Structure 1
Amino acid sequence: MTTTIPDPFAPTTLGPVQLRNRIIKAATSEGRSPEGLVTDDLIDFHRSYIRGGAGMTTVAYCCVSPEGASAPGQILMSQQALPGLRQLTDAIHAEGGAISAQLGHAGMVASKKITGVTSMGPSKFINPSSMEYCRAIRREEIPLVIEQFGQAARIAVDAGFDAVELHFGHNYLPSSFLSPLLNRRKDEYGGNIENRSRFVREIAQRVREEVGDKIAVIAKISMDDGLPGSIWLNDSIRTAQLLDEDRNLDALELTQGSSIIRQMYLFRGDVPVADFAAVVKEPMKTGVRLFGKLALGSFPYRDLYMLEAARQFVPVMKHTKLILLGGINSREHIDTGMREGFDFVAMGRGLLREPDLPNRIREDATVTGRCIHCNKCMYTVYGRTHCVMDPDSHHGVLAPESSPYAVDRTRLLPLAKV
């Protein structure tokens, strides 16, 4: 534990980037790019968090390839998207803030209904949420995916982003390689944790080679994914140690949970089964009502619910800064993270409820966020993600059947996260 608590609202650095404070808006599903391109609505969404006091906001899930999409309407990091991405970063910089692009490949979390191709993972697998077959990625395809991450990072630099966040969590493609349950390979990418960590290390290295010291490089990694026999702390700490030794990352954001099953392990709190059932058709509607809570899992919410696991990583990191996520809703929570040795805190649902929460906390240390962790924001990803308590954002809750978002309604849970 550190003896001096940094001022979370004082300027600081993240790699080559100067941030005005240590508060990061975590990547959350947005639903504001229905054609996979930046819209004014998306710009306003992120601008609200910078105006509300966050030091940096994160654009959720920018695909490194078309087959890497986890939900309809996600931005593909491409030349076509570049002009809009530049407008987005310019708007954030004009407000005095910084912006990061989360780069990901969904792997076995992807659906053929969305991408048009069979999803892939380290080994063959049946996704229990979609009941779709996932094939094993071929050895010669692995360098291609690594290069896709590198080229996506290049787009981020050209678009003016201050950072990229490599999505190594939630059993997406890189994360699935880390899991002994999902990765049963016999080559150099399978077996012990050093081999299973090879893929994420090579992605981080390729991205750093591409961006140099122009922008910061963050990785989001699952400490544990909540699946028996899968990723747990003993292995994820070793992966973090290897990434730290490589010195290709500026920060690690520590998360938990899986996007395959028992998704509530990431979110904690209420399970809005009835709300999910209301937005899907039969026979899925009945299935969600009967088995939704069992499939999603039920885990009680508590403040700072990831801290117990995340503090295990503090003594391991020698070069890489740490970002604390999960149940941060007050100045006391932020100061606890700083006191425990974390360099930044990331806030998701709390800011979705109140984009100006950082400003309010800075002005009055007794302020506590209004998010009640009802998790009803989760089903709004079928349209425009928003807090249902916000009377100004009730429009656009659901996408029309003609929208690409309607495809997602055949699934048990939206694959984008909040």
Structure 2
Amino acid sequence: MDFRKIGVLNALLVFVPVAIGLKFAGAPGMWVFIVSGIAIVPLAGLMGKSTEILADKLGAGWGGLLNATFGNAAELIIALFALHRGMIEVVKSSITGSILGNVLLVLGASFLAGGLKFSRQKFNSTAAGMSATLLALAAIGLVVPAMFHVHLELFHTKANEQSLSLEIAVVLFAVYVLMLIFSLVTHKHLYAGEHDNGPGDADGFATVEPHWSSKTALSVLVGATVFVALMSEFLVGSIEEARLAMGLTETFVGLIVVAIVGNAAEHSTAVLVALKNRMELSYHIAVGSALQIALFVAPVLVFAGYLPGFPRMNLVFSMLEVMAIVVSVMVVGLVAFDGESNWLEGLLLLAVYLILAIAFFNLPEPEAHENARAVIEQPAGMLCWILPDFDGDWLSHV
């Protein structure tokens, strides 16, 4: 197997031994964080390519299931390590960040890159609309727990929010399984044209000549997964020191940095196929990945909280994260409506992502809200005038 022909991203594999060396040499956490993050990118790409080859060998049914399972393996592995260390805010932010990154950053970059080369690109509006609708329904499962939490705070009541999150996670996971049955069994003809790319078409890893054998692909998948786990351990272990050194919050690190690192290989694939005027494939890579995050990764992380050594995680996101998810879902619906894209739409999607990133960058840590009570209690009279049914006591619980 000649790795020189696989693609330019493999040059980044040199960062794997560099990250290991830095870690065991006791280098500053910021450098371990940066280098291990870069190292995950080509490893995730190798996982994706080996999964594609195994999927072709196994046939549509099992191959599609394998693709779906390993489609977001890097993000899931990083999130599991972060959850095990108790970094629940980072984990939640990475879920939101992956959804935003796919439907705003990836789709926007694809529209922009493809639109600069082709004046107008088309994709199947019916299939795209179906994916957008599924994403909207999946987003409800992430929005409802936050609304439930706000309701409890406003009306001064208590309920088992962890149980609610678990039950919603079961529903989301069940929908994910049913979605696989729909796309791989009952209506697989609708998706027959989505993976018709030949060698060298899809990404920087897809120029292998000759094709890998099943044994080689399986070996690469196992090896890449092991090293992704190792790099994820380095990445997560250095987050605290790195974010303090760079002046970043846990929310921003999870939502922007970790999400981009985990999705980088898929990001490059979507942009490169858009440059080949295959916008339908690019669209389904972006939206399909967001669907997997909402329906598969998020529920699995909730389930993982019931394993020994893992803290419980719920699906209660901050109001800013909820707003960002709603905005991203609306955007998908808007761009899927006409089945066409151009560079200006891509630029606008990137602008929305940048605006949200700026908002999260300026969002203070939760601990910084300790003085919020004093700030809120000051205009208590005005709030009680707006909400006459309240006597103001609920403000002490904000």
Please state which band the TM-score falls in when normalised by the shorter chain.
under 0.3
User: Which of these two proteins has the greater Rg computed from alpha carbons?
Assistant: 2
Relative to its length, the structure with more helix (as a share) is 2
TM-score under structure 2 length normalisation = 0.25
